[in-house]
A and B are shown apart, each in its own frame.
Chain A
Amino acid sequence: MAVKKDYKDQKLVEKLRDRNYYIPDSNPEFIKEVEQIGRTAAHMCYQCGTCTGSCPSAPRSSYRIRLFMRKAILGLEEEILTDPDLWLCTTCYSCTDRCPRNLAPTDVIMAMRNLAARRDIIPRNFLKTTQLIYETGHGVPNNDANRAARKKLGLDEEPETTHKYPEYLPGLRKIIDHYGLKERADKILSEGE
């Protein structure tokens, strides 16, 4: 017969509560959605760690792509989508190159970023980058220090991009507007998320 634990003292009951279990089937639909967007059989991951071992981000950050694969399979949706580490992948595709199960972990990460973005969970720097691309055509626009460096190397101050040919900016903006990216970024940033 199971006996209900009762320490009489509510504070003690709370302190000693078993709270480190996780629920392994939080959202069984999550992995299906990820696979549909990412177009890779993520559930076939056997957790060998080749991805993290290949990852240039891993030695410099807390980003662990293998852990994301594991959590995705378990359907830990909330934990994944609210984790700032999700945005530390540089999309270099080294993991995808080497994965012995022929999966594309990079695409799994991208899919989960998509799902996070649908819920407006996007880090500020990504949103600012969106705004910069909209305004200048560059995620990292040219600046004075760079101009000086280019001059010193005998190059034009402005590179052969929208900086030199601003007439191409409207076309670029049209693409971004089509997806409502700029609007979305403005809105989220103004809400102070």
Chain B
Amino acid sequence: MAEIKKNEEPRIGVFVCHCGTNIAGSIDVAAVRDYAKTLPNVAIADDYQYMCSTPGQNKIRDAIAEHNLTGVVVAACSPRLHEPTFRNATAAGGLNPFRFEMANIREQNSWVHMHQPEEATAKAKDAVRIAVAKASLLEDLIPKSVPVEKAAMVVGGGVGGMQAALDLANAGIKTYLVEKNPTIGGRMSQLDKTFPTLDCSQCILTPKMVDVYRNENIELLTYTEVEGVEGYIGNFDVTLRKKARGVLTPAEAEARGIIGGGCTGCGDCEAVCPVIKPNPFELGMAPRKAIYIYHPQVSPLIYTVDFDACVKCGLCVEACGEKKAIDLDAKDEFMTVKVGTVIIATGYDIFPIEKKLEWGYKRFDNVITSLEFERLICASGPTGGHLVRPSDGETPKKVAFVLCAGSRDNTGVGKPYCSRFCCMYSLKHAHQIIEKIPGAVPYIFYMDIRSFGKMYEEFYYRIQNEGAKFIRGRVANILEDPVTKNLHVNAEDTLLGRPLDIEVDMVVLAAAVEPSAETEKTRRLFGVSCSQDGWLLEAHPKLNPCGTTTAGVYLAGVCQGPKDIPDTVAQAEGAASAASIPIHRGEVELEPYFAQCIEEKCAGCGLCVNLCPYGALALVEKDGRKVMQVTEAKCKGCGTCGGFCPGGAIKMQHFTTPQIVAQIDAFLLGGEQ
């Protein structure tokens, strides 16, 4: 490390960026540059069209050598964009990269004060003066490296989570795939066909499910939930709750000394079980027993006891016989695994559309949701693929599809966003009834058809050509004929400007989607932010869509926002790639903004320990007295402890009290001394 220039007079270089006209359009860049030259400690001030360009960076590098600078200030955009760029340039000039300070004169100035050039220029001068004051006091800092555990975790076993787990595992990383349900597969396994290719959802999904089950690098943990998370990137300790399943896998049986035992998925137990419950996989439209599997293609093929319903009659235990797979006294088990990175893929639920009273879901028998339609039209569904009216089992001929049911809705009952895949699956539904029911007519009530993906517009063309009726108007309300249970759909054909009352046999609501029930709990455990509507927040909407603001935690699929299958899989592969990078590098560098304890001043009161939101502080014995100690890798540099410490014994690196006071002084005492 270069010697620390402690007693040297600070010599600061200031560089003002034009950013084309982004900054220069409203700020007098030359005036700011000339002003900077008058500030104390400033050795050189310059300006350039694009400071981030190679010539711009070279200016910094060269000036450091030429003027023997001790600190660099760039007045340009937000540090979120180019702080790393200019730190590198500072390092290239031979300075410690943390001797760089950025003055944001774009996002927080020229863009918002576009029409006030004089005030904007004055504000830019303030920003530069403040930055110079801090830069004069900056110190060399050394980033800390921590090793990364060579294992990853994926939370959620839908198509996104499965894809992410497969990619990680195939890249040679031990991966824990955690799924709360007894089987992986997620929402996609409930779908019949997929747009726009119309291939069978299960047919393309089950090979992946098998791959996941067979992959040596994947430890599949179904019927398991995340209970607690500790640690930080590279070293997450995740506590898992393995819910009591009541059924042993062959491996678990062997561990108990039952050789050749364990569940084989034969189903003998199910046959004798006297308890009948609705099957949630079929959305309650088909029965299951208290000992059950969701559907024949589950992975792993292990039965599960629903202990809320089980009467513990023991018939299943008898039926299971020598395999001894069933343990009706099973209890939840806990386990802790250590992983380097985590991918959250917790998916979505359907918005409870009965809250929109005007459409009568759950009041009128023949109003169903699209997901119920998927099960009813699916050959392995409760009706063997025959679409029937719930009221009388008849085949519907006229079916209305209500798009934007609860989406694009600002009333507070509903979701303001577009749920993104409803247009396309409703087109597919229209195709399916035309194909399966001779003479069937689908009426699609839409506001806009959003066929944005590859081959989607062509699919729209195809369905229109097949005879689907498109009515541009949002459905105002639905009324039921109490005798026939037919439905009257009221809407306006907005293109004709006429109100409509169409009598149909069935209505399918393309209900909005919302984050799954577990998303909120999971995101809190991993410290991930969410947007106003509950979707998990990516680090950057365009340039970092898989990352989060928590280092080492990534997002895949609908938990980040509504997505169709192609987009979910694409994001999952992106997240897997991002999550594998720290693991393959083997170590991560942490920004050195840690709290530091000045032990001579520390009274060992320990108040800071409880304040720390990251559990990074502890009291330790040192030379016969108690002092606080920081686990640097856990510290996020939030400053809570530093601001609180009654003795001023905690130093926040890069945000030291003298640095902050100098900034405040520079602002308040101003340039007009």
Chains A and B form a bound pair:
yes
Tell me whether A100 and B492 are in contact (CB under 8 A): no
Q: Select the stretch in A13-21, A26-34, A50-58, A173-181 that faces chain B.
A: A50-58
Which residue on B lies nearest to A103, using beta carbons?
A: B410
A102 at the interface (CB under 8 A from B): yes
Known contacts A48-B447, A48-B494, A59-B501, A53 near B473 by CB under 8 Å: yes
- CB distance B492 to A102 under 8 Å? no
Query: A102 to B410, Cβ gap below 8 A?
Result: yes
Interface residues on chain B, size class? 20 to 34
Chain B residue contacts of A59, Cβ below 8 A: 499, 501
Using known A-B contacts A53-B490, A58-B492, determine if residue A99 contacts B499 with beta carbons closer than 8 Å: no
Q: Judge if A92 is at the interface, Cβ distance under 8 Å.
A: no
> Whole-angstrom distance from the CB of A36 to the nearest CB of chain B?
21
Residues of B within 8 A of A48 (CB): 404, 447, 473-474, 494
Is the CB of B475 closer than 8 A to any CB of chain A?
yes
Q: Across the interface, name the chain B residue whose C-beta is closest to A67.
A: B497
Give complex CA distance A149, B497 in Å.
Answer: 41
Q: Are B492 and A49 in contact (CB under 8 A)?
A: yes
Quick check: B411 and A99 within 8 Å, CB to CB?
yes
- Give the residue of B412, B447, B475, B477 whose beta carbon is less than 8 angstroms from that of A102: B412
Contact of B492 among A46, A53, A94, A101 (CB under 8 A): A53
Produce 1/0 per residue, A40-81, CB < 8 A to B: 000000111111111100110000101100000000000000
Complexed CA–CA distance, A48 and B407 (Å): 13
Q: Do A52 and B410 touch (CB < 8 A)?
A: no
Q: Mark A103-125, 1 if CB is under 8 A from B, else 0.
A: 00000000000000000000000
Known: A58-B499, A59-B499. A53 touches B476 (CB 8 A): yes
Q: How far is the CA of A15 from the CA of B493 in the complex (A)?
A: 32
Is B476 touching A100 in the complex (CB atoms < 8 A)?
no
Partner pick for B477 among A58, A66, A98, CB 8 A cutoff:
A98
Chain B CB within 10 Å — which of A50, A64, A101 has the most? A50
The CA-CA distance from A55 to B497 in the complex, in Å, is 13
Given A48-B447, A49-B491, the answer on whether A54 and B408 have CB atoms closer than 8 Å is no
CB distance from B138 to the nearest CB of A (A): 49
B414 near A100: Cβ-Cβ < 8 Å: yes
Chain A residue numbers with a CB within 8 Å of B477 are 53-54, 98
Q: Is the CB of B474 within 8 A of A49?
A: yes
**Nearest-CB residue, chain B, relative to A62:** B497
Does B411 lie within 8 Å of A102, measured CB to CB?
A: yes
Note all chain B residues with C-beta closer than 8 A to A49: 472-474, 476, 491-494
B358 engages A98 (CB within 8 Å): yes
Interface residues of B in 191-207 (CB under 8 A from A): none
> Contacts A46-B447, A58-B499, A101-B410: A66 and B492 contacting too (C-beta < 8 A)?
yes
Cα distance A100–B358 when bound, in Å?
Answer: 12
Closest to A97 in B: B358
Cα distance, A52 to B412, chains bound together (Å) = 21
Bound CA span A124–B342, Å: 73
Choose from B404, B409, B472, B492 the contact partner of A52 (Cβ within 8 Å). B492
Q: Which of A47, A53, A94 contacts B491 (CB 8 A)?
A: A53
Q: Is B500 an interface residue (CB 8 A)?
A: yes
A49, A55, A66, A98: residue with the most chain B Cβ atoms closer than 10 Å: A49
A185 CA / B404 CA spacing, docked (Å): 46
Distance between A3 CB and nearest chain B CB, rounded to angstroms: 35
B499 touches A100 (CB 8 A): no
Q: Mark A82-104, 1 if CB is under 8 A from B, else 0.
A: 00000000000010001111100
Determine the distance from Cα of A55 to Cα of B409 in the docked complex, in whole angstroms: 19
- Minimum distance in angstroms from A96 CB to a CB of chain B: 10
Residue from the list A50, A55, A94, A102 in contact with B474, Cβ < 8 A: A50
CA distance in complex: A50, B414 (Å): 15
Distance to closest chain B CB from A44 (angstroms): 8
Closest to B477 in A: A54
Give the distance in Å from the alpha carbon of A46 to the alpha carbon of B404 in the complex: 13
Using Cβ atoms and an 8 Å threshold, which residues of chain A touch B358? 54, 98
Q: Taking CB as reference atom, which chain B residue is nearest A101?
A: B410
Residues 556-594 of chain B, each 1 if its beta carbon lies under 8 Å from chain A, else 0: 000000000000000000000000000000000000000
Binary A-proximity of B166-181 (CB < 8 A = 1, otherwise 0): 0000000000000000
Residues 358-380 of chain B, each 1 if its beta carbon lies under 8 Å from chain A, else 0: 10000000000000000000000
Q: Given B408, B494, B500, which contacts A47 in the complex, CB threshold below 8 Å?
A: B494
Q: Given contacts A66-B492, A100-B410, A102-B412, is CB(A54)–CB(B476) below 8 Å? A: yes
Taking the nearest CB of chain A, how far is it from the CB of B511, in angstroms?
A: 14
User: Quick check: B410 and A98 within 8 Å, CB to CB?
Assistant: no
Report the separation of the CA atoms of residues A93 and B447 in the bound assembly, to the nearest whole angstrom: 22
B497-527 contacts to A (CB < 8 Å): 497, 499-501
CA distance A101 to B408 in the complex (A): 8
Question: Within 8 Å CB of A52, what residues of B?
Answer: 473, 476, 492, 494, 497, 499
* B:456-504 near A, CB below 8 Å: 472-477, 490-494, 497, 499-501
CA distance A81 to B36 in the complex (A): 61
Nearest B residue to A57, CB-CB: B499
User: Once the chains are docked, how many angstroms separate the CA of A52 from the CA of B410?
Assistant: 18
Complex alpha-carbon distance, A90 and B408, angstroms: 28
A residues near B493, Cβ cutoff 8 Å: 49
- Cβ–Cβ < 8 Å partners of A50 in chain B: 473-476, 491-492
Q: Would A53 and B411 count as touching, CB distance under 8 A?
A: no
Minimum CB distance partner of A99 in chain B: B411
Sample of 9 further A-B pairs with CB below 8 A, known A53-B492, A99-B411, A101-B410: A49-B494, A50-B473, A51-B492, A52-B492, A52-B499, A55-B499, A59-B501, A98-B476, A100-B411
Q: List 6 A-B contacts (CB under 8 A).
A: A46-B408, A49-B473, A52-B497, A53-B499, A66-B492, A94-B476
List 6 tightest A-B contacts by C-beta distance, closest first: A53-B476, A49-B492, A48-B474, A52-B492, A49-B473, A54-B476
